[in-house]
Structure 1
Amino acid sequence: MNTITLTPETITEYDFVIGLDASGSMASPSTRYPGKTRWQEAQETIFGLASILGQYDTDGIDIVVFGGSVEVHEGVTADKVASIFQARSPRGSTPLAEAIQKIDALNGDGKKAVALIFTDGEPDDRAAAEAAIVSAAGKLEKDEDFTILFVQIGDDAGAAKFLAHLDDGLTSAKFDIVDTISAAEADKLEPIDLINKAIND
């Protein structure tokens, strides 16, 4: 695969959507930032992403929050990220399948789409989450039209195993649109690195 050089022009070719796990386990301690929770860790990273992407897309980014229920926030700029986190606390289950469906529904303006999904655990329904990804891949003309990058938060072994399966095990999908970053790898990466990895995988 040819490596795409990350430039302002390159970034404007993509629509970025953030998926944010807001389930109860996100209140657990962060492995990256001592004294903070996984929820606070996600806030710092997503603020960084919104700050970078906002330089090239003044309309903001879309954020899909899933924890018990699913909420879609469109046109979020960096200065609005904190209010999304302040409006709720981690609670409930992990409806990943519905979140993926909402993210997929936000695509469609002709740009390539990238979803960065931050999650710390396994979803409520693994089969449904897999089916949602397979369905999204089936709508594409080219595999580079939509990329889902899962970023693990925390060190849950079950989550790591499930995300690895999504990366390599969805053999029925029309295209392989999933990539994953383990918690150990994510701990070493800054927001700009996540953007670079998303468009180059």
Structure 2
Amino acid sequence: MGFMKNAFEKIQAELDPSATDGSTKSADRSSGVRSSSSSSISSSSTSSLSMASVMHYDSNATRWEKAVVGVDTIVAQVSKFDPDGVDIVMVGGVTIAGVINEEEEEDDDDSTQELVASDNADAVEWHRGIKNTEGLEELVTYKEPKGICPLGQAMDEVCTEALSRDLKSRPCSILVLTAGKPDDPELLEQTLENTAQQIANSGGIALSPLSITFIQIGNDPDASQYLRHLGRKKYIPSSTYSMNDAEDSISTDEDNGRTIDLVDTMSYIEIKETMDEMGKAAKEAKKNGSNGSNGRNGAVAGALAGAALGIGGMYLVGKQKEKKRYTSGSWDGKWKCYYDDEEIATLIVKDDKDGEIKIDGLIDTMHGTYSHGSDSDKDDFFIQFIDPTGEVVTGEFDEKLFILTWSDGTRWEALNKTSVVKYLGAATAGAAILGGTGYMVDKKFFNKIQSKDQCDYIIIIDRSANMTHRDK
């Protein structure tokens, strides 16, 4: 049984003990995935379905589980603009080797597992040319998150390869997902310094466009402090450079125009603040009648927020239960679902009467939220859900016709109109999705995605013991 299916079933059990996942997906770990493997693989819905559930509000999944399913969404987006496919670099981890007593091999309770730790020679593992998400689970999870995090070693390999490419023809953007301070911080910082110098020697960022974005997974305070340290550094290369000059080439003073803008970081607090600001921007866009198009950035931002913060509710815009007001009834009941005036399903909606809904009747269970403001702030109304691909879908409710019209083009008509909730002043009220606000996450990795330009994407994923924690 695959990693994501396990994670999916775990979270489903927490959200709804009676729910089961009937989908099947095998994880063939006996195939022996090797370093520098090449993948040309087709899309899979299982991972995306898992992403929506694992990142659901109040999920108790580990940092590792959230990171893996978040990466699924990120790869699905960025692979569209990397003609060679995304490169994924795993850092650390241990292999699980099953040792079974042959005389009692039918008894699973008698089986044992042996953890085979990676040494430094194979602590950094490349998977190249990832063009879709099918099979991604097996590539990144055949080792367990254990042991150290030699991120400096990984960054040295990644930057060396990136600098060997023709960056002027095609930029390179590196995303790092990490839960803690690396075990080789000196090597990491030395690598960043050397990389900045080589970029300067090649004419600067304009001629050698390389960027590195660090994202913190979880809320470890030491990791936050270290990422802030990396983000504050000014990479000011010297005119004549040697390895002995590396320390002198970095300054925390105001730069003199020669700074190499190579690195940016997002700590736990910064991600939370960013998502809060995106929520505010969404509300403002709704009030202004804006329905801009920034869905790609929103999907990736939502995936990273879910992985980093440990909650999916952060990117369900403006969820404010304390402001919720309704007169009577609920969203409970059956709804006919139409697309282009063709009936495609009968949906069964369960409303917890506290701002959350569960939707059955399509491929798999979907989850959503709703809210409404005070009498004086009627525009605060929203209703939305996460679809099977992880996108946030928002609705407008016509209380006279008892119809919900959704941003994905579907329309729901209530079969039990008398029990449908009647919100105060909510007739035809709408809500802007996070991705549709036009709000820009001013980080290099996001900017590359939004530009739609072809780019080489490299994603570095921490698979150390730091990723096993659950953040509460």
TM-score grouping bracket, smaller chain normalisation: 0.7 to 0.9
Give the deviation of 1:54 after TM superposition.
2.2
2:90 to 65, 78, 91: 65
SS at match of 1:74: strand
Partner of 1:186: 271
Q: How far apart, CA to CA, are the structure 2 residues paired with 1:55 and 1:169?
A: 32
Partner of 1:158: 222
SS at match of 1:176: coil
Is residue 212 of structure 2 the alignment partner of residue 142 of structure 1? no
Q: Deviations over 1:20-39 (max 9, x none)?
A: xxxxxxxxxx9x86221111
Q: Deviations over 1:128-149 (max 9, x none)?
A: 1110111111111323511110
Q: How far apart, CA to CA, are the structure 2 residues paired with 1:170 and 1:90?
A: 32
2:129 to 75, 78, 86: 75
Partner of 2:76: 51
Q: Deviations over 1:55-94 (max 9, x none)?
A: 2335320011111511111112322321123311101101
The TM-score normalised by the length of structure 2 is 0.34
Give the deviation of 1:191 after TM superposition.
4.8
Partner of 2:159: 104
Partner of 2:444: 198
Structure 1: gaps of 5 or more residues: 1-29
SS at match of 1:151: strand
Structure with the higher fraction of residues in helix conformation: 1
Q: Deviations over 1:146-188 (max 9, x none)?
A: 1110000011111111111111135535613110111244353
SS at match of 2:230: helix
The TM-score normalised by the length of structure 1 is 0.74
1:50–1:60 Cα contact (<8 Å) kept: no
Q: How far apart, CA to CA, are the structure 2 residues paired with 1:59 and 1:80?
A: 17
SS at match of 1:46: helix
Partner of 2:62: 37
Q: How far apart, CA to CA, are the structure 1 residues paired with 2:156 and 2:299?
A: 24
SS at match of 1:79: coil
Q: How far apart, CA to CA, are the structure 2 residues paired with 1:129 and 1:57?
A: 26
Structure 2: gaps of 5 or more residues: 1-54, 93-117, 236-248, 251-258, 279-297, 305-439, 449-472
Q: How far apart, CA to CA, are the structure 1 residues paired with 2:157 and 2:80?
A: 25
Partner of 1:22: none
2:153–2:184 Cα contact (<8 Å) kept: no
Instruction: Tell me how large the CA RMSD over aligned residues is.
Output: 2.6
SS at match of 1:114: strand
Give the deviation of 1:192 after TM superposition.
3.1
1:113 to 168, 172, 178: 172
Q: How far apart, CA to CA, are the structure 2 residues paired with 1:143 and 1:109?
A: 13
Partner of 1:122: 181
Amino acid in the other structure paired with 2:444: A
Closer, same or farther: CA 183–81 of 1 in aligned 2, 3 Å: farther
Q: Deviations over 1:100-153 (max 9, x none)?
A: 112113311332111100001011122211101111111113235111100000
Q: How far apart, CA to CA, are the structure 2 residues paired with 1:86 and 1:33?
A: 23
Closer, same or farther: CA 80–170 of 1 in aligned 2, 3 Å: farther
Identity over aligned pairs, percent: 29
Aligned residues between the structures = 171
1:149–1:178 Cα contact (<8 Å) kept: yes
SS at match of 2:80: coil
Amino acid in the other structure paired with 1:34: S
